[in-house]
Amino acid sequence: MEPLTTSEMRSLELNAEYLGVDRLLLMENAGAAVARVVKREAGPGGKVVVLCGPGNNGGDGMVAARHLADAFHVEVVLIAHPSRVRSSEARRNLEALRSMASTITLHVDPRGELARSLIKGANVVIDAIFGTGLRGPVASPYREVIEEVNRVAGPLKVAVDVPSGLNPDTGEVHGVAVKADVTVTFHAPKPGLLKPSAKEYVGELVVEPIGIPPEAAVICGPGDVAIAAKARRPWSKKGDYGRVLVVGGSELYTGAPALAALASLRLGADLAVIYAPEESANAIRAYSPNLIVIPYSAPHLRPMLIDDVVKLSSRFDVIILGPGLGLEEETVEAVLRLVGKLSRIRPMVVDADALKALSRDLALIRGAKAILTPHAGELRLLTGVEVGEGLEERMRAAKELASAAGCTVLLKGHVDVVSDGKRVKVNRSGNPGMTVGGTGDVLAGVAATLLAWTGDPFRAACAAAFLNGLAGDLAATKKGYHLLATDLIDHLPEAYELALKPAECRRLRPPVEGWEPQALKG
């Protein structure tokens, strides 16, 4: 099984919750899996000491204790004050242990002194102190408890998910780490557990399923937003959350670049600037005082402007190329030359008219850190392939285009498809009211901001597809299918906040008819 980083696992868990598999159930399955391994590795009877921290790893240990109570004398040590047990899932399991006083002895030991004493007489020690969330060196009293676990010979030492103190992504030790005989990790191995240097801490690695549905890895959902989100620090400054340049607009089209820039700003970019013809600059500015427009003295983008755009791009994190550019022959030539130069120096979101221009020479974009956002008609221009409504067909087409272009493709439609040529994900948020013009420009702005935050086109595209659709769904709850593209922009903040709460977000999940399981298995 391919290893998954801690952020990838977190994404899967949140997507599972969105699909209806709550974290409490995942915790139950994880703890039960640990108990099964303990029963297999150690004969019945004897004393099991479960060392629990205040996080969800401790919650997993509490579940394991409950499942072991029928075969062992079980003592659970919470190495923290109960008030530090913050997640509702871990608190639920702590309350369950409190009700099992006749079969499980529960100790509250914030100083770790009792824990160090109980370890010495144990037949099995279960390490559920820290999971994947540890940051920085292990501090007291956990350091002393871990050192005692390593010092004592005799008991079977079982680590829950990851040996406490070991970085699950890198295999580095945070000062000290438990040296386990067996590590029971969940769903997939973490890369750090597979490092040769981690072997003395991991011992035998056992990977146990915990009920995460396969669809959690295939859908775009709250988990994708969570790993693309960027925390706001108190000492943040302008530029920390992205500077986006929109190269778009023409004599005829002024709204498209404005929508892309406004969406980028509304999601959280610090700056969105539009490079547009002088004749349309004032019209674009009129949409909002939040927009900055840099005008050029030509009716549309021309090759003579390329060097200016490339120089200007150095001040921005991501370039959106295409909204409202038009398809003048000079503009098509300028787009191709611009893509050729920018593809090596700046992340891009290529949309609308720029996609049509790129159909003349797709090789120019190859290897760029870029997101292409075609609908079915634009995909046909880029590849010559006519795609229908079948999900499997759309997944194959998006993957083939991504492979040919060497970048990420977000194929828009009733079900969006995102692929980087290897991975494929699908998004089902959104509704038929979003066929209105301009929603694709909003998507481009959202994708650009997320690309600025993550630096990862695939992650950004998955999160953007879900957020854009969710904003449309929220707008539809108030306006039905009578939507404007600006309605999506207005609902982006609410969509972003809701996406970080999978259980609440679930109420807007679309019905499942038309979902094609065979396509997902591929």
Average pLDDT (245-270) is 96
Instruction: Please check the confidence at residue 105 and state whether its pLDDT lies above 60.
Output: yes
Query: What does the pLDDT read at residue 169?
Result: 96
CA distance 15 to 36: 26
Of 185, 217, 249, the residue at which a domain comes to its end is: 217
Report yes or no on 79 lying in a domain.
yes
Place of tokens 């755009």: 309
Structure confidence at residue 518 as a pLDDT band (50, 70, 90) = very low
Q: Which of 437, 447, 445, 449 is nearest to 485 (CA)?
A: 437
Mean pLDDT of 247-252: 93
Q: Is 265 helix (H, G, I), strand (E, B) or coil?
A: helix
Question: Domain of 408: which CATH number?
Answer: 3.40.1190.20
Q: Cβ neighbours of residue 396 under 8 Å, at least 6 residues apart?
A: none
pTM: 0.93
Amino acid at 278: E
pLDDT of 522 strictly over 60: no
Residue 520 inside a domain? The answer is no
In-domain check, residue 494? yes
Same domain as 424, residue 327? yes
- In a shared domain, residues 22 and 104: yes
CA pair distance 150, 112, nearest whole angstrom: 15
Written as six digits, the tokens of 245 are 């340049």
Both 241 and 192 in one domain: the answer is no
Note whether 28 and 161 are same-domain residues. yes
CB 492 within 8 A of CB 4: no
- 118 falls within a domain: yes
Average pLDDT over all residues of the chain: 95
In a domain, 404, yes or no: yes
**In this structure, are 262 and 182 located in the same domain?**
no
State pLDDT tens for residues 146-167: 999 999 999 999 999 999 999 9
Mean per-residue pLDDT for 457-474? Answer: 97
Check pLDDT > 70 for residue 486. yes
Is residue 67 included in any domain, yes or no? yes
- Whether 519 is in a domain gets the answer no
Average pLDDT (76-97) is 96
Nearest to 93 by CA among 146, 30, 135: 30
User: CATH number, domain at 160?
Assistant: 3.40.50.10260
Q: What is the pLDDT of residue 153?
A: 94
Judgement on whether residues 247 and 210 belong to the same structural domain of the protein: no
How many domains are there within the chain? Answer: 2
Give the per-residue pLDDT at 316. 98
Instruction: Answer with the one of 160, 184, 217 that is the final residue of a domain.
Output: 217
Residues 193 and 255 in one domain: no
Q: How confident is the model at residue 109 (pLDDT cuts 50, 70, 90)?
A: very high
| pLDDT of residue 421 exceeding 80 | yes
pLDDT digits (tens, 9 = 90+) for 186-208: 999 999 999 999 999 999 999 99
94: helix, strand or coil: helix
- 234-241 CB contacts, 8 Å cutoff, 24+ apart: 238/270, 238/271, 239/270, 239/271, 240/270, 241/268, 241/269, 241/270, 241/449, 241/452, 241/453
**Residue range of the domain that includes 347:** 237-511
Residue 465 sits in the same domain as residue 340 = yes
Q: Are residues 331 and 436 in the same domain?
A: yes
Write down which residue in 155, 182, 217 finishes a domain.
217
Please write the tens of the pLDDT for every residue from 9-64: 999 999 999 999 999 999 999 999 999 999 999 978 899 999 999 999 999 999 99
Q: Are 110 and 152 members of one domain?
A: yes
pLDDT at 511: 62
More confident of the two residues 441 and 251:
441
Do residues 126 and 252 share a domain? no
Predicted local confidence at residue 251, as pLDDT: 87
- Which residues, in sequence order, are CB contacts of 512 under 8 Å at separation 6+? none
Q: Are residues 499 and 356 both part of a single domain?
A: yes
In a domain, 72, yes or no: yes
Question: Which burial class, exposed, middle or buried, applies to 312 when counting CB atoms under 10 A from its CB (0-12, 13-18, 19+)?
Answer: middle
